[in-house]
Each structure stands twice: as structure tokens, then as C-alpha cells.
Structure 1
Amino acid sequence: MASEEGAKRCVRCGEFRPYAAFARKRSNLDGLQRHCRNCATSVPSRDMESPVLGPADCVAEGHKRCRGCGQVKPHGEWHRKREGFAGRCKACRTAARPAEHLRRKYGLTEADRDELIASQGGVCCICSSAPAAHVDHCHKTGRVRGVLCFNCNAGLGLLRDDPDAMNRAADYLEGNAWKPTLVAPGVYQLPS
């Protein structure tokens, strides 16, 4: 395969592989990485505690090593990206997704959220009956207000966090008249 066109030698494992087995790198003359995709996934990232793997530990064709869990899994266990596969397997990405969402959207860690829930007694701040599971925040300032149950959090969102609308809803539930009253022809008075 050494003399075959469309193949390149990997500097780590020493094998000749087709061009498709190498990731792109524009700064190289041929536009490809020096090592094949299998060898790139077999070497753990710097923050992992395991030692660097040698060429004998290359991953079999059709498989890839996960940066998160370190396991070798078939390509069906990975999300596809434009140039190959994601860095972590589907299971590792799914496990990390809630923590990333909390950090990105609210600036909280899971420990911060759990502390908020504990300070509320583990129940929703509004209904005081359902378990608190959804972080509530002000859409104007981004400040976290507390942790609510799904229904109360959705209710606040549907009423657009408008205190006047919530007061009118409370009046309606208490049986107070909410319809406008006719004061003069064409003039209506809204309940206060």
C-alpha cells in the first residue's frame, strides 16, 4: 500500500492509511494531520491521568476512544461532526449536558443548585407541594430567583413574569370580577 496513490503514512503507528483516515490541518503542506484519526483518539488529553499510549494501542478500524471515559467504542456510539466524530461518546456527552446547561445559562454548579433546593426545604417556592427541580430566573436581569416545580415555572413564563397579570389571575381565581364595567357609552373601567 506504500506505493498506492491516495494513501499516507501515519507518524505514530507507521501504517499507510487512506487520506480519509486523517483529519484536516491547513498549515501542513498536504492539508492533513501527521497522525491518523485512530492514533489521535488513542492518545489521551493532557488532563487525563492515564499514561500516553503507544502505537501498539491504536484503535481498531470503525472504533474510537472516548476522551471522557477512555473506553473504545464503535462509531455508532458517537455523534458525527463535519470532520469526523465528536471528542466524547454519546453517553459521556449526555451525562455532562445538565451540568453544562446550568453553568452556561445560570452560572451555577450542580452543588449551587442543590444548596438552593435545600434552603427551600426541597419543595417549590410557589406551590410548596411539588419537588423543586427547575431553576427560575428573571429574564430581564438574568438573576436566579429560586428553584420551582415544572408547573409553577411554566406558569410564570406563560404570564411573561408580569406581576400585574399574576395579580389579575389571582383575583380571577378568588372569584373577583375581572371583566371591564361600562361607565359611559364606549367607556369601560378595568378592575383595579
Structure 2
Amino acid sequence: MSDLKSGKECPDCKAWKPAQDFRRSAGNPDGLSWYCRECFRRRDADSYRARRERAGFKVRPKIDVPDGHKRCPKCEEIKPHSEWHKSSRQWDGLAAACKACRKVESRAGHLKRKYGMTEADYRAMLAEQMGVCPICQSTRPEHVDHDHETGRVRAVLCFNCNAALGMFKDRPDALRRAATYVEGIVWKPTLVAPGVYRLPS
């Protein structure tokens, strides 16, 4: 005996479960499916595998995933639920791919959209720079630098150097004056005539 308020025993796993652990089924007297949600998913998956095998398709071996974990189809690793973003579109409430794989996909999409380069292009550029920022030559670079007028990618810089170029608006003359200033040569105008000064170039 069962009803929507209490629950019933699943004939597959033989466990008594609350009504919310069963799907709704208007065709059954109690309004609940025969099997609990967990058993229903397992039986549905087994049925799908059997149909695919009969049709001659290669079926991936079934992998047991412990409770509180999920297998990522991208990296094929089994990770705890904390390594997944929430998603109301998925039956389990978790995203299709783990956080690490989604981050890689997001970065790859950003590189392609903004700079027209692939992840392989990015890694090749890093290798050419020997893994260091070409300006400060000390920090690991992570930010793609490009010419804002032509869109041409120039290099991969560290955050500080990339931000510095932006602050100087990519002006070589301003950068040269900044270098001269840092080297100890004080910026001073030159008197060329009474009341007339020439600014340093």
C-alpha cells in the first residue's frame, strides 16, 4: 500500500522510500512509478546499453561512481560534486562537465573570439617566450597582448606589464620617457630662447 504522501517499497532495490523518490505516473493507482528514481535511471541505462549493443554499436564500459561524485565526460575523471557548477538544465542539478574542463573550454572560446587563436597557438607562443614575460622576464605570463588598432597579437604578458602598457596607451614615446626618468635622468624642458622652452622628445 502506498500513496503520494507517504511512499512505498521499490520492487527492484526492495527499499522503502518516500514518495518524492519516485516519479509521478498517472497510469498507476498510487500515482507513482513502479521503481524509484535511482533504479529507474539504472534500468533505463541498462536498456539503452542493450539496445546499442544489439544494433552493433560500441558501448562504453559501465563505470561505478560513488555517491557524491560524478564522472566528467571531457577529462574522464570521477570528481566530487564540489568540483562541478550547479545547473538546473541537468537531471542531477550539476553541469555536464567539471569546473576545470569548463574553464578550459571558456578560455579556448575567449582566445578564438577575441584574438583568433587556438589554445595550441597560445601554448606555442608561451614556448617561444620560454615561459616568461618578454618585458619583465620574471613573471609567468598569462595575458594575451595585442595591438588595439590592428588587432595583431604581439605576445603573452604578465598582468602587471600588460596593465602598464594599457596605462601608457601603447605610446613608445611615453614609455621611452618613463625609462629615462627611472634611470635617473630628470625630465626638464630646454631653454632655447628667452621665455621659449623645448620639451624633451
Q: TM-score range by the shorter chain?
A: 0.5 to 0.7
- Residue 35 (structure 2) aligns with: 15
Structure 2 unaligned residues grouped into runs of 5+: 6-19, 26-32, 49-56
Which protein shows a greater Rg?
2
**1:133/1:152 CA distance change after superposition, 3 Å:** same
User: Shift of the alpha carbon at 1:145?
Assistant: 0.8
* Residue 130 of structure 2 is aligned to residue 130 of structure 1: no
* 1:155 paired residue among 164, 172, 181: 164
Structure 1 unaligned residues grouped into runs of 5+: 22-34, 44-48
Look up the SS of the partner of 1:76 in the other structure.
Answer: helix
User: Shift of the alpha carbon at 1:72?
Assistant: 4.8
> What is the TM-score normalised by the length of structure 2?
0.52
* Sequence identity percentage: 51
8 Å contact 1:159–1:165 — kept in the other structure? Answer: yes
| CA–CA distance in structure 2, aligned partners of residues 162 and 99 of structure 1 | 30
**1:71/1:4 CA distance change after superposition, 3 Å:** farther
Matches within 5 A, 1:12-161: 15-17=35-37, 51=59, 63-83=69-89, 84-94=93-103, 96=105, 98-120=107-129, 123-127=132-136, 129-130=137-138, 133-134=141-142, 135-161=144-170
- Residue 164 (structure 1) aligns with: 173
- Residue 28 (structure 2) aligns with: none
| CA–CA distance in structure 2, aligned partners of residues 115 and 77 of structure 1 | 29
* Structure 2 letter corresponding to 1:8: R
* Structure 1 letter corresponding to 2:166: G
* Structure 2 letter corresponding to 1:116: M
Over 6 Å off, 4+ runs: 57-61
- Residue 173 (structure 1) aligns with: 182
The count of residues paired between Structure 1 and Structure 2 equals: 159
> What is the TM-score normalised by the length of structure 1?
0.54
Q: Please report the RMSD computed on the Cα atoms of aligned residues, expressed in angstroms.
A: 4.5
Higher RCO (C-alpha 8 Å, min separation 6): 1
